Every structure is written in C-alpha cells, then in structure tokens.
Copies of this chain bind each other. A is one copy, B any other.
Amino acid sequence: MSKLLIVGTVAFDAIETPFGKTDKILGGAATYIGLSASQFDVESAIVSVVGEDFPQEYLDIFRKRNIDISGTEIVKGGKTFFWSGKYHNDLNSRDTLDTQLNVLADFNPVVPEGFKSPDIVMLGNLHPMVQLSVLEQLERPKLVVLDTMNFWMDNTWDDLLKVIAKVDVVTINDEEARQLTNEHSLVRAARKIAEMGPKYVVIKKGEHGALLFHDEQIFFAPALPLEEVFDPTGAGDTFAGGFTGYLAHTGDLSFKNMKNAVIYGSNLASFCVEKFGTERMQELTKEDVHQRLEDFKSLTQFQIKLT
C-alpha cells in the first residue's frame, strides 16, 4: 500500500456563516486532508502538533481511520492552535476574527521512522520553513504537493520561493496565484508558477472549480453546483486530500491520472461544504463518494458526433 505523508495544522476552529455559528470544533489543514484521503486505501500519517487541551475523542477520529498520528506531537501544558473566522453573505470571502498560534509557534516537525520514505507528501498550509524542514527529513518521495496561502507571500516571500522550487505540484487558490505572479490571467499565472519549479499547478477557484496545468495542457474540474454551501471551511484542504489520496491509492502519476485526481478532489470537497466543519467528512462513506462520481460524470461528460 502506498504511503501518504501529510503535514499541516490540527486545530480548533470557531466558524460563523450566514447559517449559524460553532463553538471550538475540530479543524486544521491536516485534519481535512487526512479525513479526505482516508476515503482511499492508503497508509497515511499526519505530522503536526497539538496542545494538552486537544481532546482524546478528536485523536480517536484519526486513529479509527488508520491515520498514523505518532508524528503529531502533543505538547504538555500547551494549547492547540486556534482560528476563528466569519464568512460574508456570499460565502466567497471571510474575515479572520482571531488567530492564536499557541503550540504552532514553536512547531518543530519530526517525521516518524516509518514515513521517512513516503510515496507522496502533502505539505498543507504552514510556514514554508516548516514545510522545508519536513522535506529535508525524507528520501525523495515520488511526488511532493504543496499548498500555501497569501499570508506566507506577505510575510515570508523568500522562504516560500525556496520550498516552491522543491515541489512537484502546487495547489493554490486563484487570488493567491495572481498575487504570487502578478498576472491576472490564470493561464499566465500557472506558467509563471511552473517556472518557479513545480511541473504541475492546480489553481482552485472555489465554487468555480479547479484547473490543473502541466506544460501546455490544461484540465478543468467544476465544483458540483449545490443548492446551498453551508460552510466552505476546509474545502481546499479536502480537495488536496482527495487529490493526493487518489494518486497514492492508484500509484499512477501520469497527467491523465492527475485529471482523475482533480475530479476526486472536487468530489470530496463537494461533501465538505455541506455541513459545519468536519461533520460531513466524518460520516462520509465510500458509497457516497462513488455515487457522487456519477454526478460528476453526468455534469461534465459528453459524446459529440462530429458534424
């Protein structure tokens, strides 16, 4: 079975959307990535850090799904990273209300022995130097995928470029791709990102789908049109988990199969937004995912007899 190493935050989130408001609930990039990737038969591990306040029942959520959390440090007396945000009415943008780094401030990732030669590494959104330090502990994996955010462009530009140069795939949202490259056209932005190192670029456009770029080839996966998006938190990470989980499961890293991985990413993300936080992802079954694949097929596949 392929090994998937996931690096990222495991956190508490407090979320407000037009539909409601949560107390501190389970969140974090690595959480969403791990839950999403667990829909595939892969051996996965999360390298992260939490505080002593992190409840046993949350740890059990990972263990029950055979996600190795021996590389997730529990800091004695420490407090878990906390993020709080409020979405605007159209759910396309949000304000951060509070960020408490807590144990994340001194996070020094240690990859467990069993995961030092993973097949695929998913570097979730984190300080670029932390992402880099993980890569330095590994034998070169078959594929390294990196997600990042505007925060690191604003604050750690040089470090970010260093880690981008070392990865195979970058997943990034549209506005961040524009910020990173100073190009409005996503086709040009993707080309510029590829010039920084990665052979593949995935640009996530939220409700408008995701684009996969490789050389001069482009593939597009729509988001599933939903009656209601309940809470967009974690959708991008869930996409990344579906993308890397499918690639790890199939072991096929061709561009053709990456198209499928992008479809699976969109598939998984379409569930994530249906309920608050990780709720929908926790109850998700393989049957749900298979059924939704059929929805994606009828949404996008066509048969044209040439005229």
Interface string of A213-233 (1 = CB under 8 A from B): 000011110100111100000
Say whether, besides A184-B90, A260-B302, A307-B40, A222 and B225 are in contact (CB < 8 Å).
no
Name the contact of A219 in the complex, choosing from B246, B256, B299 (C-beta under 8 A): B299
B interface footprint on A266-307 (CB within 8 Å = 1, 0 otherwise): 000000000000000000000000100100001111111011
Determine if A250 is an interface residue (Cβ-Cβ < 8 Å).
yes
Whether the pair A260, B304 counts as a contact (CB closer than 8 A) is yes
- Partner among B225, B290, B293, B302 whose Cβ is within 8 Å of the Cβ of A263: B302
Task: Specify how many copies of this chain sit in the oligomer.
Answer: 2
Asked if A307 contacts B246 (CB within 8 A), the reply is yes
Flag whether A182 is at the interface (Cβ < 8 A): no
Known: A40-B307, A208-B208. A298 touches B219 (CB 8 A): yes
Contact B228 A299 (CB under 8 A): no
In the complex, what distance in Å separates the CA atom of A101 from the CA atom of B145? 56
Beyond A227-B185, A227-B188, is A293–B304 a contact (Cβ under 8 Å)? yes
Verify if A211 is at the interface (C-beta below 8 Å from B): yes
- Chain B hits for A293, CB < 8 A: 304, 306
- Across the interface, A301 reaches (CB within 8 A) one of B208, B249, B301, namely B301
Bound form: Cα–Cα A236–B54 in Å: 53
Query: What residue in chain B is nearest A41 (Cβ atoms)?
Result: B307
Tell me whether A75 is interfacial, beta carbon within 8 Å. no
User: Separation in Å of the A174 CB from the closest CB of chain B?
Assistant: 10
Residue A205, interface by CB 8 Å? yes
Query: In the complex, are the beta carbons of B226 and A187 less than 8 A apart?
Result: yes
Complex CA distance for A306 and B127, rounded to whole angstroms: 36
Contact B304 A290 (CB under 8 A): no
Least CB distance, A210 to chain B, in whole angstroms:
11
- Among B41, B187, B300, point to the contact of A300 (Cβ < 8 A): B300
Known contacts A205-B208, A208-B208, A306-B290: A186-B225 contact under CB 8 Å: yes
**Most chain-B Cβ atoms within 10 A of its Cβ — which of A205, A301, A304, A306?**
A304
The listed residue (B40, B218, B290, B299) touching A299 by CB distance below 8 A is B218
For the complex of A and B, list the 6 residue pairs with the smallest distance between their C-beta atoms, beginning with the closest.
A208-B208, A259-B302, A220-B222, A187-B227, A260-B304, A187-B225
Q: List 16 A-B contacts (CB under 8 A).
A: A90-B184, A185-B228, A187-B226, A208-B208, A208-B209, A209-B209, A211-B225, A218-B225, A218-B298, A218-B299, A220-B300, A249-B307, A250-B307, A256-B303, A293-B304, A300-B302
